[in-house]
Structure formats: structure tokens, C-alpha cells
Amino acid sequence: MRPEDLLLPTPSGVCCKTGGFYIDPTRPVDRALITHGHSDHARAGHGAVLATQETLDIMRLRYGEDFAGSTQAIRYGETVSLNGVSATFHPAGHVLGSAQIAVERKGCRIVASGDYKDVPDPTCAPFELIPCDVFITEATFGLPVFRHPDPDAEIARLLHSVTLFPERAHLVGAYTLGKAQRVIALIRKAGYRDPIYLHGAMETLSHYYQSRGIDLGDLRPVRDMKKGELGGTITLCPPSALKEVWSRRFPDPVTAYASGWMRVRARARQSLVQLPLVISDHADWDGLRDTIVATGASEIWVTHGQEDALVHWCGTQGLKARPLDIVGYGDEDETDGVSNEGEAGNPI
């Protein structure tokens, strides 16, 4: 069968007519399969939602109990059959609970990878490579200028700054779901044992991560602290808080921002932070290319980000590739130059 007969790209997400479902639809539908909890992929208001337990929990924490008509949890490696179409969830390595969804019928397998990264992350299950005929990939960092550095080295820069400016507070802007918890875990991995302070918006999800057995150490709400006590401390906050009146409660803060976008100076400068940390939860240019080749797929569909460059590259490798032009991925919650949501939200 033709891949388009199995999964049809539409402006509001890929649709499986035979199976009667959409994957990560950007408008309310009867049945949705959700790859992960970032709000540009996981929206409220669907009839039935199939996702990993973590993704369902995250959606419930963000949208409230009534976020969907009904829900069904699925484990990694588990397959469900929907009107003769089988769907299997596999780890995507992006954030806690993130999954790639392999859709299969009559010997044709398409993998919708959602957002993914192929490097280790202490806060979520590692990316699993699934051979397929068609691979649907993101392209958030789909330009050769994006090669993410070793995240431990980026954290070392943060900790060096804390040593060098012990009287100043260090404020780290990070997306509330995934990035913040990964940054905290990396700071712990580097041996930092002091309490780490949280902006109010970070508390719920960070505590949820802890409840799932992820060790983030001593986390405390920053709201209980006095200005004088915050010199030499590290506080995590949503990126937008860096520019809000909220940040004035800190003594002469060093502002940091953990995002793959920080690789490009013009973007980092526009965010006005003093310590850009290049830490990303998306595959970089090398990761995208390696993954595409390793899936063995002969056809590549590119969803969001820098589609042009990745599609061009696929062409040079003799792979059939097309951009999907789905409207609405990567542009959630953009405000004033810094996005609070998934990194796919280009901060400009």
C-alpha cells in the first residue's frame, strides 16, 4: 500500500483514516495518539487519548482531570490494534514519557517520532531505533550549524560562574517540562549538593518527575526566600520569567538560558541573557541524519523546524523526502522573545 493510504498528512496533524485516529493533532479530534506532553503536541479537548502513562499524567497536571473524554495508557513496546491498524509506542528520548509511534498495516510501517533526541538523558528512557519504511522526523535543529555540545560541559560553565560570582544569584531559564528537570539532574550529576530553588511554575512537574523515581535532590520553592539569602544559589524558572518583574527579587542575578537556540549568537543576544547554555532535548543535525539513515526508511517526512535543509540533504542521499507543513507545532506560548514551552518553539 502507499504510505499516504496508511497515514495522511493534513495541516492539523497526520491522520490514519483506516485506524480512525490522528497523531498529535493540533485541533480537537475523536481519537488522538499523543507522542509527548509538550503543549504543541498534547492538546486538551480530544475524545479519546492513547499515550504513555507519564504523558497522560502530565496532560492531567497541566489541563486538569477533564482534559479528554477518555484515556488509555500504553507501555513502551506495547501494541494496540485500531481497526486493523497496529500502533506500537517506543521511547523517543525527548522528555519523560515521550514516545515514537510505529503505525503498521499490510507490511508498511511508518514511524511518527514526535520530538526526539539520540543522546543520553538521566530523566527519560533512551531513544530506541525502529526500522521502518517511512520515518516522520522533526527538524527543529535541522541545519548543519546545530551540533549540540556535551551538556556536562555546559553545566560546568554554569557551576564555574556560581564559584566566580558567589554573591550573585544564578537564574536559569528552562522549559518547564523536561528541560528544567534535565538541567537539575545534570547539575546533580556534576556533584552540586546544595538546594536548588524553583519558580512556582516549575514545582508541579518537577515533583511529578521525583514521584516517578527521578532523583533531583533537594528542591525548594524560591518564593519563601529573602533576597539576601539568594546570593550564590541556583534557581530554575520559565524563560519568560527572566524578563519579568519577578526576577528583581534576586541579588544582581546572572541570567542563564538552557536551550539549543543559544548556539546562535544573534538568538542568544536577543534573549538578553548573560550565560547562554547550549542544552537541547532535540536531535541536532548529526543526530537527525544518523537516525534517518539508521531507520533504513526510503521515504522521509519532515514535520517542523528547518525542513528545507533536511529535505535537501535527504535528496543528496537519494532519499525521497517531503515537508509536511503541519500548522501549529513549535509555536506554542511564544511571548516576547522567550518561549516557556518545548524548545521547538523558536524563541524569535
Segment lying near other proteins (by CB under 8 A), choices 8-16, 22-30, 225-233, 248-256: 248-256
CB of 319 to other proteins, least distance (A): 15
Closer CB to other proteins, 36 or 263, in the complex: 263
User: Closest separation between CB of residue 240 and other proteins, Å?
Assistant: 11
Verify binding: residue 269, other proteins, rule CB under 8 A: yes
Quote the least distance from Cβ 215 to other proteins, whole Å.
30
User: Could you say whether residue 190 binds other proteins (CB under 8 A)?
Assistant: no
Asked whether position 313 contacts other proteins by CB under 8 A, the answer is yes
Sites for other proteins among residues 130-189 (CB under 8 A): 143-147, 149, 157, 164-165
333: alpha, beta or left? (left if phi > 0; alpha if psi -120 to 50): left
Among 64, 66, 213, 266, binds other proteins (CB under 8 A): 266
Stretch binding other proteins (CB under 8 A), from 14-22, 35-43, 214-222, 309-317: 309-317
Q: Does 272 bind other proteins (CB under 8 A)?
A: yes
Residue nearer to other proteins on the CB measure, 102 or 162: 162
Please identify, using beta-carbon distances, which residue of 42 and 143 lies nearer to other proteins.
143
Q: Which of 80, 159, 264, 319 binds other proteins (CB under 8 A)?
A: 264
| Selected range binding other proteins among 6-14, 56-64, 222-230, 236-244, rule: CB under 8 A | 236-244
- List the grid coordinates of 13: 496533524
**Residue ranges in contact with other proteins by CB under 8 A:** 143-147, 149, 157, 164-165, 242-248, 252, 255, 263-266, 268-276, 306, 308-309, 312-313, 316, 335-337, 348
